[in-house]
Amino acid sequence: MKNLSKNLLIAVFLLFAITAVFSLFVGVEETAPKTLTLSDLAAKINAGEVSRVVVNGEELKISLKDGTEVKSRKETETGFSETIVNYGVVPEKLQTMEISVEEPNGFKYWMGIIIPTLLPVILMLGLFWFIFRQAKTGANQAFSFGKANMKLWSGIGEKITFKDVAGLKEAKEELEEVVDFLKNPQKFLDMGAKIPRGVLLMGQPGTGKTLLARAVAGEGNVPFFHMSASEFVEMFVGVGASRVRDLFDTAKKAAPSIVFIDEIDAVGRERGTGLGGGHDEREQTLNQILVEMDGFERDTNVIIMAATNRPDVLDSALLRPGRFDRRVVLDMPDLNDREAILKIHAKGKPLDNVDIRAVAVRTPGFSGADLANLANEAAILAARSNRKKITQDDFFNSIEKVLLGPARKSRAITENEKQITAYHEAGHALVAAGLKDSDPVHKVTIISRGLAGGYTLKLPVEDRHLKTKGQFLADLAVALGGYVAETTIFHDVSTGSSSDLKYATEIANKLVTQYGMSEKLGPRTLGKNHEMIFLGREITAEKDYSEKTSEIIDEEVSRFIKKAFDMAKKTISVYREALDAIAKILVERETIEQEEFAALIKSFGIKQVVIR
């Protein structure tokens, strides 16, 4: 008891001693509230964030519109308005706020004496409290690995909406429904509708997946919880799963809300394919995600969005109904989209008569991220040469920098590749147009979609449940159209045809072994396919025929392919001029839509051939 009081006495004495020393050094000016420089204040006034300024001699007390109080000082004897205008404030802005002058009074005088003596005491106590708390959390940290370090984007920073996302028209249309639901979930629940649960955004790096997910949150005005799946994998064993739990719990509390899992392929790869023992951290994390998604009540207003550029490696369990059953593809931007994206990123930058379209024309194969990068590089170039405005050449000169930059992951097309791709796609499109049994061409483009180079989109006129041999042959011929065009024009083949050839071979194989369309082998199936339904792909094919039959199958497959090849070759050589015309437009404008294509075909008098 005696000891304790003695210690206390010493402590109090020490405290007073420290306080006395402190008060010699600590003046009232350096203390809270926060002090702004005059140029910071000027910026805030210009941004319209200031509601009131009270001038007291040299001191300025500033009330911000968001309720916080800050301080500033003006050095000179000149009036406040005059001083601040010198710092670049627009005089009109001063009229939108309250300015008053206060004389020093008795209260202030006493405060000026009390605060310097009291403050060190408070500081000391604060320090003790801080140290104490540190020690406590230090001990706790060992148990809080599992706390998800989520990034919350709601209200903080600028809100992103669909307006900030250029192009991606189809993706936005599909997500409109999700936004609608977030805004008014009851409307959907009242109708007994199943709410969207998981949305998978697929697209190459830099196509705007993260941006679009944020825009959905912004449009729906809901909190956005962002997490990168690759972070899970780096964790200690068992931590990934608990982080997932944490993330979902937080999101549920904030519902309606969006959980965004970036790079989901990092955890969502087909299970059992992990190197070094299957049941690793990745797998546990994935399982936990599935458990959480399945455990949602019907009326939990949490939407899970995930992004990947490798949809092909995803575990099929992720894609099952009730999980990520909505898939949205984000295409690489074509000419018009690139122009729109550049415009968004050029906004607010001082341009010197820059023809944005011309920049777009020179940047095929650039992703949205590349274009954002490009606009930034152009601005940096202008600033470094001390110019006030960004010129056309700044943009052009930055193209190369972005192309060669280390951060680039996506694929840019060289002029030569553009020619080859244009003829390749023109080949597909022309053969499709020339064959009666083929579906009409909807769109031809040399801008890559998903993982393919360019593509030619054909859509059937009506819903079809049966497909004839003629139609299959037409498909085969169209698939080979790209290959034939390349060989005809360049007398060479590129790797761009490999997936076409694979497709053609698969189709031909099915014609022979599954549909009984080979005359030589007749109406029978060959081989037993064991489809592992739960993995969603063919695993094994068991032979149930002789070696001799096997040879005939090979022959027949080759015969179908040869026949289709001849059809494609004939169409392309007869309508060579049309092929050149289509390729030329593709080189110039990258995309041809249905109407234009149909008109073009008509102008060349192409008559459709029926294959037998």
Q: Known catalytic residues?
A: 425
Residue 227 CA to residue 267 CA, distance in Å, equals 12
Neighbouring CB atoms inside 10 A of 73's CB total 14
Q: For 527, which DSSP code?
A: S
Query: Does residue 256 have a cis peptide bond before it, meaning omega lies within 30 degrees of 0?
Result: yes
What is the sign of the dihedral through the CA atoms of 168, 173, 177 and 182?
Answer: positive
Task: Using DSSP, state whether 166 is helix, strand or coil.
Answer: coil
- Residue 203 binding: pick among Zn ion, Mg ion, ligand ADP, none (C-beta 5-8 Å cut-off by kind): ligand ADP
Span interacting with ligand ADP, options 10-18, 162-170, 400-408, 412-420, rule CB under 6 A: 162-170
How many H helices and E strands in the chain?
22, 16
Does 367 participate in binding Mg ion (rule CB under 5 A)? no
How many CB atoms lie under 10 A from the CB of residue 568? 29
Judged by CB under 6 A, which of 44, 197, 209, 243 binds ligand ADP? 209
Helix axes 368-384, 392-404, angle to 10 degrees: 120
Q: Which is nearer to Mg ion, 210 or 421 (CB)?
A: 210
Residues 441-480 that bind Zn ion (CB under 5 A): none
Measured between alpha carbons, how far apart are the two ends of the chain, in Å?
A: 110
According to CB under 6 A, which one of 120, 185, 198, 206 is a site residue for ligand ADP? 206
CB of 445 to ligand ADP, least distance (A): 16
Instruction: Convert residues 272-311 into a mask of x (bound to ligand ADP by CB under 6 A) and - (unbound).
Output: -----------------------------------x----
Residue ranges of alpha helices (H) inside 31-144 are 38-46, 80-86, 91-95, 106-141
Tokens representing 174? 């599909």
Structure-block tokens of residue 469 = 């041999």
Give least dist CB 458 to Zn ion, A. 12
Closer residue to ligand ADP in complex, CB, 365/481: 365
- In the bound complex, what is the minimum distance in angstroms from residue 210's beta carbon to Mg ion? 3
Site for ligand ADP in 317-346 (CB under 6 A): 341, 344
Query: Rounded CA gap, 500 and 478, in Å?
Result: 9
* Alpha-carbon distances, residue 247 vs 66, 148, 292, 349, 483 (angstroms): 30, 6, 10, 38, 49
Minimum distance from residue 512 beta carbon to ligand ADP (Å): 41
To ligand ADP, the closest distance from the beta carbon of 415 in angstroms equals 24
Q: Are 303 and 182 in contact (CB under 8 A)?
A: yes
- Candidates 337, 339, 486, 500; binder of Zn ion (CB under 5 A) is 500
- Give the pair of three-digit tokens for residue 69: 């109080």
CB 145 within 8 A of CB 238: no
What's the closest the beta carbon of residue 204 comes to ligand ADP, in angstroms?
7
Binding mask 520-559 for Zn ion (x = CB under 5 A): ----------------------------------------
Q: Which of 210, 363, 448, 456 binds Mg ion (CB under 5 A)?
A: 210
**Tokens 């593709």, located at residue:** 586
- Contact (Cβ atoms closer than 8 angstroms) between residue 72 and residue 60: yes
CB of 476 to Zn ion, least distance (A): 13
Count of residues interacting with ligand ADP (CB under 6 A)? 18
Q: Of 161-169, 203-211, 348-356, 461-469, which segment contacts Mg ion by CB under 5 A? A: 203-211
Residue with Cβ nearer ligand ADP (372 or 426): 372
Q: Where are the alpha helices (DSSP H) in 347-468?
A: 356-361, 368-384, 392-404, 415-434
Tokens of 295: 């455990």
CB 202 within 8 A of CB 329: yes
Strand partners, 390: 351
**Letter for the amino acid at 533?**
I
State the nearest-atom distance from the C-beta of 165 to Mg ion, in Å: 13
Interface with Zn ion (CB under 5 A), residue from 72, 423, 482, 575: 482
Binding characters for ligand ADP, 537-576, by CB under 6 A (x = yes): ----------------------------------------
The CB-of-339 to ligand ADP minimum distance in angstroms stands at 11
Among the residue ranges 172-180, 206-214, 281-289, 421-429, the one whose residues contact ligand ADP (CB under 6 A) = 206-214
Ramachandran region of residue 512, left (φ > 0), alpha (ψ -120 to 50) or beta? alpha
Closest CB 204 distance from Mg ion, rounded Å? 11
Stretch that binds Mg ion, among 204-212, 253-261, 402-410, 457-465 (CB under 5 A): 204-212
482 binds, options ligand ADP, Zn ion, Mg ion, none, Cβ within 5 to 8 A by partner type = Zn ion
Query: Of residues 45, 89, 150, 168, which one binds ligand ADP by CB under 6 A?
Result: 168
- Which position's Cβ is nearest Mg ion? 210
Enumerate the β-bridge partners of residue 203.
Answer: 330
What's the chain's length in residues? 612
Which of residues 434 and 482 has its CB atom nearest to Zn ion in the complex?
Answer: 482
Contact partner, 208, from ligand ADP, Zn ion, Mg ion, none, Cβ < 5-8 Å per class: ligand ADP
Site string for ligand ADP, 342-371 (x = CB under 6 A): --x-----------------------xx--
CB 60 within 8 A of CB 71: yes
Given the rule CB under 6 A, which of 165-173, 223-231, 510-518, 530-538 is the region that contacts ligand ADP? 165-173
What 3-state class would DSSP assign to 378? Answer: helix
In what helix (H) or strand (E) does residue 53 lie, and over which residues does it extend? Answer: strand 50-56
- Cα-based angle 515, 517, 520 (whole degrees, multiple of 5): 130
Residue of 137, 144, 146 lying closest to 248 (CA atoms): 146
Closer Cβ to ligand ADP, 200 or 341, answer by number: 341
Q: Which stretch binds Mg ion (CB under 5 A): 202-210, 398-406, 422-430, 532-540?
A: 202-210
Given the rule CB under 6 A, which residues bind ligand ADP? 165-168, 203, 205-211, 307, 341, 344, 368-369, 372
Given the rule CB under 5 A, which residues bind Zn ion? 482, 500
Given the rule CB under 5 A, which residues bind Mg ion? 210
